[in-house]
Chains A and B, each alone.
Chain A
Amino acid sequence: MTLTAFETAPLYTGADWDYDKVRRVYDAIEKVALGEMGLDCYTNQIEVITSEQMLDAYSSIGMPLFYKHWSFGKHFARDEAMYRKGQRGLAYEIVINSNPCISYIMEENTMTMQTLVIAHAAFGHNHFFKNNYLFQQWTDADGILDYLSFAKSYISQCEERYGHAMVERVLDAAHALMNHGVHRYPRRRGPDLRNEERRARERLEHAEATFNDLWRTVPTKAGGPSPLSNRDRRRTLLELPEENILYFLEKKAPRLQGWQREVLRIVRHVAQYFYPQRQTKVMNEGCATYCHYRILSTLHERGALTDGAWMEAMHSHTNVVFQPDFDDRRYGGINPYALGFAMMQDIERMVTHPTQEDRYWFPDLAGKGDPMGALRDAWANFRDESFILQYLSPALIRKFRLFHVADDARDPEMKVAAIHDERGYRAVRQALARQYDIAWAEADIQIVDVDLVGDRKLMLEHHVMNQILLDEEEARSVIQHLADLWGYEVVLAEVEAPGGTPLRRINVSPRVVLGGG
């Protein structure tokens, strides 16, 4: 009891923060997070910044250093205007998926906010970055800052050497295609020599083991095995179809210069780095929100946080996880913080206090009694889409009163396809999961062929799902950028996904050839 009595002294009082308090709070949080919750984090680096620097950080997509481009200035100008008018507050924190994990805290915030931010970002997000499979697979936390610093200096060198306008054009084009500059699946690694040799030996052994002389006597078609058609041969050579457009251009565009390929490569790497974040908004924020809630409530229970600080923290917390209804003026889609936090709490509830329904729906989970184990497992092995498909419980669907609306443009009215009832749970869950599936949310566009013997026309296909075509005006300007990079005509054919009925063709010739001659 004497030990706990020692712990019950509040870590701090009052609103002002100083380095000593931050250190004390950090240590207390660390004890809870690593010791009791079993989180596994990169080393933390906490940086104190001003609100102006926070605005700066916004404009370069949160990265501490980034190359220069007008679009960041545009975002900065808008954020600044909105911030000055009070239409929008600043984020409390920004955290960077790097090792050491950098989180920003603002000097204007109170000590309680700093505590909240440290628990949220430095432990919640940090754990997620380090352990989620997508981040492990696609991002290199150790190297990202070095890479960005390389990218920044490389691009500024290019600007000096080739002029601002030229670099800007390449960057504009690359940015337009940024979403189509990611590898969605791990690629086949190039064969290394040792493996090649082993595989050749295995093939030989296999042939020897299964040798049968009779095969020699089987008659073959006249003229030997049918050769590949020209089209197939060409496609194999160019490794088509290819959905990573930037990658294809970087490797195969005939007229680009070396530095232009490198610029495309930089943009592609940045896109790839952010690809996991786009797929894990709900989980990432849910994880961080759950962590700060759990850590702070533990500290409060032990008396390490004063009641006032706890109330202040909860005030911000409830603001963050507020989910307005669809008919509310404030509605702007489903709040990832709200959904994520609710799902994490729901998992905790099912693991510790399951109902009959939970036992039926989640036999593996209900009543297992180790909430942190279950959560850590979920955080490590899922992304938004699969997480919702796996873990969204009927209880939560009822709580959010989710319903599924099907909207077919051919019908005069929309139809309620499913609601939060016995018949609808699965349908609602599936539809919601699909909303978070990036493969459904983004158009499926692939490079299918190049007319190498003719006019080097580049052919793309958009596989149209649900009869939703591309926004024509936007598509035309993106394809224009693409044509500028490719250097010859580009055709985008939109075809019905099953069946391949052509729906529309967008045909664009390059207006300026970016590559030299």
Chain B
Amino acid sequence: MFTIVDRRLNPSGKSLANRQRFLRRAKEQVMRAVRDASAKRGIRDIDMGGDITIAPDGIREPTLRRSSTGGHRNYVVPGNKEFMSGDKIKRPPQGGGGGGGNQGADDGDGQDEFRFVLSREEFIDLFLEDLELPDLAKRKLAVTDAMDWHRAGYSVAGSPANLNLVRTMRNSLARRMALHRPTGDEIKALRQEIDDLERTGRDRDRLEQARLALAEALKRTQRIPYIDPVDVRYNRFTATPRPSAQAVMFCLMDVSGSMTEHMKDLAKRFYMLLYLFLSRRYKHVDVVFIRHTHKAAEVDEETFFYSAETGGTVVSTALEEMARVIKERYPPAEWNIYAAQASDGDNALSDNTKTAQLMTDFILPDCQYYAYLEVGQEGMSPGLPYGGGPRETDLWRTYKQINAGGLLAMRRVTERKEIYPVFRELFAKDKAGQPAEVSA
């Protein structure tokens, strides 16, 4: 006697609740690990799950057990090859080998680092939670002009192709019933009766009545049309603007000698956030990296962040490069274009006018949003107004003069912890929605 039960269809993930409890418990450590892990990752890999390793503080499960050192111990172990009783053996280093005995296997538990895998959602949640990102779903992003047609009820006017037959016939039936229009069957029955009576020739009165009734019925049929213009209904369509499902994000950075690793790190964090933000809103997000010194080039991510260049600083070259890339690959009608520029604010004096002109004439009209992030030296007091320096930098002054109507946002950052607040400040206000109306 036995039963066999198929449990495969039972809901899986029975331990999900336990896992959540565990993550909550180890939150601090997990958070730290996520932060470290995200610093090492590439921008595009930011929203993937992954291995993380945490220290076992706080998730230890202590028991009253004997310590693994000291005292007098006895082990029985298999596989004797050369020992005779009375032999002396060197103590093996730390627990392993002959000294492990029965307890060796259990003791290792929970001592070293604890390693496990976070799913993508968990990772993102923790990453965003770490940054206390607000509910971004409510924020409107700019839309392009592309339109979609959607059904929107019925109308009394329209093109014959959109005629809604069912609605029309229903209205017509209702009207015909309300006005007592004789049906085909009734007329047919009257004709039949008249026919019968004429043939037999018995009930003259009845024949007369029937003829009158038929004449009346035919008159009504002519007066009350089968389908009246008031019956006719058409399907109505309205045009709704379709949010473009693709976006491109331009990362512009000054990589001249004056940019330190710290500054680059700040910039990278900002780019990451922006990428995350955009990838939540758009189906497809491209990232273009443009670095510049006195000349600019489009590069891959690795080169962008990790290879140093020497040279002067001419911002306009980067803007020119960006304009070129937009022209070649990202027509503004099809792409939502976002740009984030990070710089320490240096620019060649002679270049400022050109930069301003490029911005107003080419870059800003194409962009949904342009964020300029001025990064400063680490340790500079955030109270100092300009990138750590005592006065406005060249680039800052140049950008300040541009009247962009909310398209151009500028912030200064000197420390890691300011990145998120700044990011939030840039996206918190509903300014991203306005440019669409302006351009529409």
Query: What is A's interface to B at a CB cutoff of 8 Å?
Result: 19, 22-23, 26, 30, 43-50, 52-53, 55-56, 59-60, 68-74, 76-78, 80-81, 84, 100, 104, 107, 122, 164, 168, 175-180, 323-328, 331-334, 400-409, 412-421, 423-424, 428, 431-432, 434-436, 441-443, 445, 462, 466-475, 477-478, 481
Contacts and interface: CB of A to CB of B under 8 A. Distances in A.
A43 B18 contact: no
Looking at B10, B13, B65, the one whose CB has the most chain A CB atoms below 10 A away is B65
A332 B77 CA distance: 10
Given A23-B4, A84-B117, A468 B71 contact: yes
Contacts of A19: 4
Contacts of A180: 64
B106 to A, nearest CB: 9
6 contacts: A50-B12, A70-B26, A81-B117, A401-B78, A402-B76, A414-B90
A44 B63 CA distance: 35
B79 A325 contact: yes
Central interface residue in B15, B62, B71, B72, by most chain A CB within 10 Å: B15
Contacts of B105: 332-333
A421 B85 contact: yes
A413 B69 CA distance: 14
Contacts of B116: 77-78, 80-81
Given A333-B105, A468-B70, A401 B79 contact: yes
A467 B72 contact: yes
Contact of A441 (B10, B80, B102): B102
A60 B13 CA distance: 12
B2 to A, nearest CB: 4
B417 to A, nearest CB: 28
A495 to B, nearest CB: 14
Contact of A477 (B2, B62, B81): B62
Contacts of B85: 403, 416-419, 421, 423-424
Interface string B2-20: 1111111010111101111
B224 interface: no
B72 A406 contact: yes
Interface in B273-299: none
B182 interface: no
B22 interface: yes
Contacts of B135: none
Interface string B37-53: 00000000000000100
B364 to A, nearest CB: 48
Nearest to A418: B85
Contact of B77 (A55, A405, A470): A405
A441 B87 CA distance: 26
The 3 closest A-B pairs by CB, nearest first: A325-B79, A73-B22, A468-B71
Contacts of A179: 63-64
Contacts of A30: 2
Contact of B99 (A71, A414, A432): A414
Contacts of A474: 62-65
Contact of A81 (B5, B63, B88, B115): B115
A334 B88 contact: no
Given A78-B115, A435-B102, A49 B91 contact: no
A438 to B, nearest CB: 11
A77 B66 contact: no
A43 B2 contact: yes
B102 A471 contact: no
B13 A107 contact: no
A408 B71 CA distance: 6
Contacts of A401: 78-81
B74 interface: yes
A107 B8 contact: yes
B71 A467 contact: yes
A415 B86 contact: yes
Interface in B244-299: none
A332 B4 contact: no
A441 B79 contact: no
Interface in B84-120: 84-91, 97-105, 114-117
Contacts of A403: 76-77, 80, 83, 85
Contact of A45 (B3, B100, B114): B3
Contacts of B12: 50, 52-53, 56
B155 interface: no
A324 B102 CA distance: 14
Contacts of A22: 4
B73 interface: yes
A300 B341 CA distance: 75
A470 B65 contact: yes
A352 B31 CA distance: 64
B61 interface: yes
B8 A53 contact: yes
B91 A47 contact: no
Given A43-B3, A176-B64, 12 more contacts: A30-B2, A44-B2, A46-B5, A49-B8, A76-B19, A326-B97, A327-B79, A402-B80, A415-B87, A415-B88, A415-B89, A431-B74
A405 B98 contact: yes
B401 interface: no
A403 B97 CA distance: 14
Nearest to B100: A333
Contacts of A428: 76
Contacts of B75: 404-405, 407, 431, 435
Contacts of B77: 326, 334, 402-403, 405
A492 B407 CA distance: 69
B80 A419 contact: yes
Nearest to A409: B70
B190 interface: no
